[in-house]
Amino acid sequence: MSFRWWLVAIFGAWFVVSAWALSAARHSSGIEWNFIIAGALILLGALWVIRAPLAGRWRDGILALIGIWMAISPWVLGFAAHHAKDLLVTLVIGILVLIGAGLSFVLPSDVASGPSQRTSA
């Protein structure tokens, strides 16, 4: 479980850094703040899941929604047509965040629910 969430945390950190690394963010403060806020939420959310994995799946759903937002943000914020490299990076990382968070809803629980109980035959 934690390997997947560490990857999601790294993707969130990348979005924060991309506010200064990608050309679209350097041209618009709205795009820059989008990367910073969404990236920080992804990073903090993933670290929260790592720290307290049993606190609820609602966090995973919120992180999946932020992944969807980041994947569609190039079109919503209007930089898809002029910044092809930024579009590709944002789309791919957003989809990876969506997949990483969404796996929580299709995989069996990653955390043991307690000590195994043996039954006598």
- What's the average model confidence in pLDDT over 78-86? 89
pLDDT at 118: 40
pTM of the model: 0.82
Give phi and psi for 9, each to the nearest 5.
Answer: -60, -40
pLDDT band at 52 (very low <50, low <70, confident <90, very high): confident
* The pLDDT of residue 109 is above 80: no
Percent of the chain past pLDDT 90, that is, above it, reads 50
How far is Cα 101 from Cα 61, in angstroms, rounded to an integer?
7
The more confident residue out of 62 and 112 is 62
| Domain boundaries along the sequence of the chain | 2-105
